[in-house]
Amino acid sequence: MEKVSSILARHMKKWGVTHIFGIPGKAIVPLLLEIDTTNIEFILSKHESGAGFEAAGYSLLSNSLGVAVGTSGPGGTNLITAAAQAKAFHIPVLIITGHPSIKDVGKALGQDSTLFGTDLVEMFRPVTKFSVRIERGDQVKSYLSHALEKAFSGVKGPVHLSIPADVLTEEIEPFEMNLPESQHVVSSNYHEVIDVLNNAKRPALILGKGVHSSKAYEEVRRIAEVWGIPVMTTPGGKGTFPSKHSLSLGAYGLGGTDESEAYVEEGIDVMLVIGTKLTDMSLAGFREEHFPKRVIHFDYDQTFIGKTIDVPTLFIQGDLKRNLQLIISEMMRRGLGNDSASIRILEEERVINHDLKRNLQQLLDEMNRRGQAIDAELLGVALEQASSIEQYDQGDWLSSKTCMEVMNDVLPSESIIFGDAGSHSYYAIKYLDIKQPGTFFFDDVFGAMGYAIGYSIGAKLAAPNKKVICLTGDGCMFMHGAEVSTAVNSNAPVIFIVMNNSGLDMVDKGMKNMTGKSVGTTYSHPVDIYQFALSMGALPYKCRTAEEFKHSLQTALGYNKAVVIEVLVDPDEVPPTMRRTL
């Protein structure tokens, strides 16, 4: 026989979990003691929401299970926000909360987590894929199996188990359980996509964060290149396609580029949508007159298919990567996807930046004259050569746009960047260059302020050899900035870039734009991020100019400790988020 707590800890070790995040409490002490015996590192977070964010970031970069632990009552309720954020991000996280004692249910208990107190199981249900209380030891195997299957099947997501303290110490028959393998559900009508795209006159490809979830970066690039389809990303899809690719129009919706907006204004006949539910954030500024004649929509979840854009829609349900792979195989069988595809990209009038296109064409004409080969990879190199880097602007404040230009110049191409909820990330969505797919992560669905602080810490612990950057703001730091202490204490050398404009910038400008005034959006006494970071043991910098920021960022890249770079940005600069309406 073996204690339930021992079985759980042993399995976490078996599954390759190296870090578990949480805050101790009486109800979960038996589990924490067993975790300690397995040499899994328990990371003491500063708030349970932070623990949940960290577990999600860990899962995202480890491509495995994240685990967050909280005690009963408020420990559990604090994890609800993190669960909702993980669900919006499609991240498999196992959340375990405690309860004083199942045998005492119905009596007056402190931090009661049943229906007699704070019913955590019911509270977690809307924000997880599975939530249940384990009331007897003989339920552990079955409920744990259900939870893991839900976490890793279809659209991945968080699950919740409430396990009372006396159940954790109960001895049961030991068992073995593996993490479920992903099931690649394939649509029966994927082959129809080829004919629709072959007949499209002016298509557009729009990518969401489902491409991140499926790691289908190479597949979407192949599809775009074969048909020469201009590519736009949703705010959450930022990072799924290289910015310098000749077909990239940048982002659409909030933080959208002029190029993507101009292309939509000129009309689209077929919109190929991959991995996004098309929220109001993704389609800000998109009106009925912009509707395409037809939509091809790839997604696992049918809930919002055809609801936002009411036109004939070809729904390709299931695993994005696998469906795209089958389409690529089919088009190669038909003779599409050969080496002439890259030349066709230039011939199409779907590349919007005409000045840049002219520069490219001159370069490629010269390459043709010399008999040099042309391929898609070379196009990306040529594009980078043809583009010019703007000079940094200088003024009384550092502009947020300039911050992005400095980051473009300094950060290595493989740096992993997490954008927090706020205008700072929408500047990144519009101006930050994506040099490698899978290096920028942002959520435009739930958008919990401060989540990126925790995500970046968990990600760094999962991938210690990667440079991990958190792009956040002063408002987000007020929410969850104490997690910088977690980074310091857990030796997670994240670089936190904090754009400080003394208020809740996105809300402030949006409220003024829509109503003519703002209420409760600025601080009469702004936070001093430098002093705040210093108090927690991080290495702090305060920057007022582009050169100071550049020097600080270059220096931070050489340190192996948590660094906080405060950038004082123009509080009057209008962010690229004004397309939303009441």
CATH of the domain at 136: 3.40.50.970
Worst-scoring range by mean pLDDT, 89-93, 248-252, 359-363, 480-484?
A: 359-363
Domain annotation covers residue 315 = yes
Query: Which has the closest alpha carbon to 353: 250, 271, 426, 267?
Result: 250
Q: Hey, what amino acid is at 101?
A: S
Cα separation, 75 vs 80, in Å, equals: 9
Each residue of 241-282: pLDDT tens digit?
999 999 999 999 989 999 999 999 999 999 999 999 998 888
Contact between 165 and 98 under an 8 Å Cβ cutoff? The reply is: yes
The answer to whether 211 touches 217, Cβ cutoff 8 Å, is: yes
Query: 375 in a domain, yes or no?
Result: yes
What is the tens place of the pLDDT at every residue in 69-84?
999 999 999 999 999 9
In a domain? residue 573: no
Same domain, 454 and 305: no
Q: 516 pLDDT exceeds 90? A: no
Per the domain annotation, does 394 fall within a domain?
A: no
β-pairing, 270-274 vs 248-251, is unpaired
Segment 509-528 shows an average pLDDT of 79
What gap in Å lies between CA 84 and CA 126, rounded to an integer? Answer: 8
Q: Is residue 185 part of a domain?
A: no
Q: Are residues 220 and 349 in the same domain?
A: yes
- Residue 397 — very low, low, confident or very high, per pLDDT cuts 50/70/90? confident
* Closest to 243 (Cα-Cα) out of 367, 400, 364, 411: 411
Q: Which is higher by pLDDT, 352 or 147?
A: 147
Amino acid 230 reads P
Alpha helices in 370-444 (DSSP H): 376-386, 400-410, 423-431
Q: List the structure tokens of 272.
A: 């190929």
- Confirm if 438 and 419 have CB atoms less than 8 A apart: no
Q: Clarify whether residues 381 and 501 are in a common domain.
A: no
Is residue 337 scored above 60 in pLDDT?
Answer: no
How many domains is the chain built from? Answer: 3
Could you please report the per-residue DSSP string of 227-254?
A: HT--EEE-TTTTTSS-TTSTTEEEE-ST
Q: Are 166 and 3 in contact (CB under 8 A)?
A: no
> Average of pLDDT values for 45-68?
97
> Could you tell me if 62 and 112 lie in one domain?
yes
- Chain centroid to Cα 180, Å, comes to 23
Q: What does the pLDDT read at residue 542?
A: 95
Amino acid letter, residue 256 = G
Strand partners, 164: 99
pLDDT on residue 150: 96
* Residue after which a domain boundary falls, among 338, 363, 386: 386
Confidence of residue 394 (pLDDT cuts 50, 70, 90): low
What are 457-498's pLDDT values in tens digits? 999 999 999 999 999 999 999 999 999 999 999 999 999 999
Q: Are residues 246 and 166 in the same domain?
A: no
Weakest mean pLDDT among 25-39, 143-157, 309-323, 373-387 = 373-387
Nearest CA among 417, 575, 565 for reference residue 500: 565
Q: Which of helix, strand or coil describes residue 482?
A: coil
From CA 372, how far away is CA 156, in angstroms rounded? 46
Is the same domain home to 142 and 232? no
Alpha helices, DSSP H only, in 157-272?
165-168, 192-198, 210-214, 217-227, 258-265
Integer Cα distance of 381 and 396 in angstroms: 36
- How long a stretch of residues is the chain? 582
Q: What pLDDT score does 393 carry?
A: 57
Query: Is residue 49 in a domain?
Result: yes
- The runs of H, that is alpha helices, within 387-491 are 400-410, 423-431, 451-462, 474-480, 483-489
2-3 and 171-172 strand pairing: antiparallel
267 and 151 share a domain? no
pLDDT at 512 over 80: no
Does residue 198 share a domain with residue 166? no
Note whether residue 181 is domain-resident: no
Query: Any residues with CB less than 8 A from the CB of 87 and at least 6 apart, and which?
Result: 127, 128, 129, 157, 158, 446
Kindly give the pairing relationship between strand 495-500 and strand 563-568: parallel
pLDDT exceeds 90 at position 138: yes
Question: Does 421 fall in a domain?
Answer: yes
Q: Are 382 and 405 in the same domain?
A: no
Q: Are residues 372 and 265 in the same domain?
A: yes
Provide the 3-class DSSP secondary structure of residue 68.
Answer: strand
Using the structure block, give the residue that is written with the tokens 């400080």. 500
- Bridge partners of 207? 233, 274
3-state secondary structure of 48: helix
Examine the domain organization and report whether 39 and 87 are in the same domain.
yes
List b or e across 437-469, with b for residues whose CB sees 16 or more CB atoms inside 10 angstroms. Answer: bebbbbbbbebbbbbbbbbbbbbbbbbeeebbb
pLDDT of 355 strictly over 80: no
Domain end call among 352, 386, 420 = 386
Among 121, 117, 149, 150, residue whose Cα is nearest residue 134? 121
pLDDT for 582 equals: 54
What pLDDT score does 504 carry? 83
571 by Cβ neighbours in 10 Å (0-12 / 13-18 / 19+) ranks as middle
Residue 387 is predicted with a pLDDT of 41
Strand, coil or helix: 581: coil
Mean pLDDT, the chain, as a whole number? 87
Q: Check whether residue 204 and residue 353 sit in a common domain.
A: yes
- Residue pair 255/447 in contact (Cβ under 8 Å)? The answer is no
Tell me what the mean pLDDT of segment 530-557 comes to.
95
Range of the domain at 75: 2-172
Whether residue 380 is predicted with pLDDT greater than 70 in this model: the reply is no
* Percentage above 70 pLDDT, the chain: 87
The CATH number given to whatever domain includes residue 245 is 3.40.50.1220
Element (H, E) at 9: helix 4-14
Closest CA to 54 of 67, 40, 63: 67
pLDDT confidence band for 348 (50 / 70 / 90): very low
- Rounded to a whole number, what is the largest CA-CA distance in the chain? 87
| Cβ 30 vs Cβ 59: under 8 Å | no
Using 50, 70 and 90 to split pLDDT, how confident is the model at 333?
confident
